[in-house]
Amino acid sequence: MILSSKSVFAGITLCAFLCCSPKPYTKVVVRPASCSQDLQFADCANLGYLLEFADLMQRPVFMYFYAPWVESCKRMDQYVYTQDELASYFNNHFVNYKINVGGPVKEAELADRYGVTTFPTLLFVDGKGKIMKRHEGPATAAQVLEMGYYLHDAVEKEVAALGGN
């Protein structure tokens, strides 16, 4: 069978349309760790979707509650979450979620749900939303990384004890 240039062009056009068309709505957007050397925070419509995603990935959720007008939050954004070692570790072992308590109502409701009144507050929760670790106030990159190592090791031990991977 001989293909005309018209049919080849039509096939290429169809392929380009299917490959480049927008993908269906995704409930959770997590950028690959390679997108930036900074800690990558997920975008999500609500916490339920994020917890479901974290549960499927078998990863804890790192939640960073901040207020944009609080100086220690600004410093953490500038000096902590930009540290290569911390960013790499958290991007590969946690689902990271940044919550602006001065932003949309849904984010302020999350602060109420978890009793957050101090900014910054760092929470590590499991895929069901249960708090595993809480830290109120600013922290250094070394402190945040130490919390991450501890929780990752604890989760790995729990998965191994349950006969998981």
Q: What is the per-residue pLDDT across 34-63, written as a single tens digit (0 to 9) for each?
A: 556 789 999 888 889 999 999 998 899 999
Which of 55 and 25 is assigned the larger pLDDT?
A: 55
Predicted TM-score (pTM) of this structure: 0.78
Q: Answer yes or no: is 14 within a domain.
A: no
pLDDT digits (tens, 9 = 90+) for 93-142: 999 999 999 887 778 889 999 999 999 999 999 999 999 999 999 999 99
Q: What is the count of structural domains for the chain?
A: 1
Which residues touch 135 (CB under 8 Å, ≥6 apart)? 121, 122, 123, 143, 144, 147
Judge contact between 131 and 118, C-beta under 8 A: no
Cβ atoms 64, 98 nearer than 8 A: yes
CA distance 38 to 54: 20
Q: What is the CATH number of the domain that holds 48?
A: 3.40.30.10
The parent domain of residue 44 ranges over 24-157
